Amino acid sequence: MKHPLGVILAGGQATRMGGGDKGLLPLGSGTILSHVIDRLEPQVAGLALNANGDPARFAHLRLPVIADSIDGFAGPLSGVLAGLDWAATQGASHIVTAAADTPFFPCDLVPRLLQSAEDASTQIALSRTPDGRHPTFGLWPTALRDDLRAALNDGLRKVVLWTDKHGCATAAFPDDAAFFNVNTPQDLVKAEHML
């Protein structure tokens, strides 16, 4: 399989952070999102940002901004679907997703997901730590996008219910902290210390 495209999922509502774009909050010398981009970009063949609302607020990133195609806030799977639809227009067979609020994910995320899917002969792979699965960090095939669209239109919102139906490998990472995500102002303080 050639290098997948990367899609950063930034479509969440950030309610615990008071709303707005968590990814644009300052962290170190950049923003949470700039750290995510710096980690994912070298691992993929191209990168897009899944975000809803006015895309102009991300213009400085010089990335394609793709909105959810499912009406109403349908959760991370609608961002995955938006990414799959975008990747299909680029001729890509797969995408790897990463959450926009998780600045310390592994620098070998993509090769580990690809290897896990290959070893298990599956098209989907999710990240796992001792804490459990991290379904916003996954490998997804564009071939299943219409199946996912139908499931979302039927009201499905839970990622693992859909992935398990299609056979899903997991890439095991030893450190729970690698997938630490910034949800609250306290988390942002902790992230500064982790830097």
Answer yes or no: are the C-beta atoms of 23 and 100 closer than 8 Å.
yes
What DSSP designation does 67 have? Answer: -
Average pLDDT over every residue of 5-15: 79
Domains observed in the chain:
5-194 (3.90.550.10)
Residue 160, CA distances (Å) to 84, 127, 167 in order: 17, 12, 10
Q: Could you give the CA distance from residue 89 to residue 64 in angstroms, rounded to a whole number?
A: 13
On whether the pTM is more than 0.75, the answer is: yes
Q: Could you give the CA distance from residue 158 to residue 93 in angstroms, rounded to a whole number?
A: 23
Res 101 pLDDT > 90 = yes
pLDDT at 19: 59
Q: Could you give the CA distance from residue 172 to residue 90 in angstroms, rounded to a whole number?
A: 29
Q: Could you give the CA distance from residue 103 to residue 178 in angstroms, rounded to a whole number?
A: 8
Both tokens assigned to 167? 């056979």
pLDDT bin (cut points 50, 70, 90) of residue 1 is: low
For residue range 104-120, what is the model confidence (pLDDT) as tens digits?
Answer: 999 999 999 999 999 99
**Phi, psi at 182, each rounded to 5°:** -90, 105
User: What is the residue whose two structure tokens read 């499912």?
Assistant: 70
